[in-house]
Amino acid sequence: MDTPTVVRPKISAKHVGKIYDTADGPFVAVQDFSLDVAEGEFVCIVGPSGCGKSTFLRMAAGLESISSGSINIEAAPDSDKPANSVVFQEYAVFPWKTVIENVSFGLQMRGISEKERTQVARYWLDRVGLTKFANYYPHQISGGMKQRVSIIRALANDPEVLLMDEPLGALDAQTRVVLQEELLRIWEETRKTVLYITHSLEEAVLLGDRVVLMSAQPGGILDIYHIDLPRPRSFETTTLARFSEYRALIWEKLSAEVTRAMEMQE
């Protein structure tokens, strides 16, 4: 008899809570947040401003302590990959390092030889059209390019999971579309497990296999939507009737939650 294979989720968050100590006393930012993300899944998180999205992502990244519950990132026992790499909205690049030094930084930290890290960095620079700028410093390139550097630096690390907090949030609309398409192409090839926070519902529906809608404070899960749109996806996907239906469906609930969040602040 075949034993059924139990597929362990790549990311498993169980009853996660976060309480911040503030001058006004304890503040519950995240409450009873449970989510499993499968290997190779792209999960987007949306929710009103201040609902605890970044808090959750920082906890998953190990950058913030967890007050209750647990978050586990599954890795193969012999894996020497980092558990996660994080991409933030701000261009988190080292201004004193060149583009290629930035991209290979994580590999350098892991003691990878110069030959190998240059090879990996060059591959990623080429993937996003930055080869010509390898020896430039961040102040010599545009915002869109800087964010490409942040993204490929995370990918060059080959982490178990990629955690992204509004990675395209600071970009103008056109650059954002270009980078969304680049991200889609890269993800469809690498099938990294991704947790992706965005303020843009369009972006969430375009990129995600699932969209998690968070409730306003304390942040929990209000709803989860499976986005059954064909892949490979591209900007064209946004013209499909089904795309608009998903957007309208989620927007109805998200907008009500945004209103509720604003009323709570009054």
Ligand X SMILES: Nc1ncnc2c1ncn2[C@@H]1O[C@H](COP(=O)(O)OP(=O)(O)OP(=O)(O)O)[C@@H](O)[C@H]1O
- Rule CB under 5 A: which residues touch Mg ion? 54
- Determine if 265 is a binding residue for ligand X (CB under 6 A): no
- Smaller CB separation from ligand X, 18 or 117: 18
- Determine if 255 is a binding residue for ligand X (CB under 6 A): no
- Smaller CB separation from Mg ion, 54 or 85: 54
Cβ 166 to Mg ion, closest distance in Å?
6
CB 130 within 8 A of CB 179: no
83 contact partners, CB below 8 Å, separation of at least 6:
62, 73, 75, 159, 160, 161
- Determine if 85 is a binding residue for ligand X (CB under 6 A): no
C-alpha to C-alpha distance for 29 and 51, rounded to whole angstroms: 7
Cβ 246 to ligand X, closest distance in Å?
21
- Residue 209 has φ and ψ, to the nearest 5°, of -80, -35
Judged on CB neighbours under 10 Å (0-12, 13-18, 19+), 206 is buried
Query: Quick one: which of 8, 26, 27, 191 contacts ligand X (CB under 6 A)?
Result: 27
Q: Which stretch binds ligand X (CB under 6 A): 53-61, 65-73, 134-142, 171-179?
A: 53-61
Nearest in space to 199 (alpha carbons), one of 161, 227, 221, 169: 169
- Determine if 29 is a binding residue for ligand X (CB under 6 A): yes
- Determine if 169 is a binding residue for ligand X (CB under 6 A): no
- Determine if 49 is a binding residue for ligand X (CB under 6 A): yes
- Determine if 180 is a binding residue for ligand X (CB under 6 A): no
- Choose among Mg ion, ligand X, none what residue 52 binds, the Cβ cut-off being 5 to 8 Å by kind: ligand X
- Choose among Mg ion, ligand X, none what residue 20 binds, the Cβ cut-off being 5 to 8 Å by kind: ligand X
- Determine if 51 is a binding residue for ligand X (CB under 6 A): yes
Query: Quick one: which of 55, 84, 102, 237 contacts ligand X (CB under 6 A)?
Result: 55
Strand 11-22 versus strand 68-73 pairing type = antiparallel
3-state secondary structure 217-241: CCECEEEEEECCCCCCCCHHHHHCH
- Choose among ligand X, Mg ion, none what residue 27 binds, the Cβ cut-off being 5 to 8 Å by kind: ligand X
- Determine if 22 is a binding residue for ligand X (CB under 6 A): yes
- Interface positions with ligand X (CB under 6 A): 20, 22, 27, 29, 47, 49-55, 217
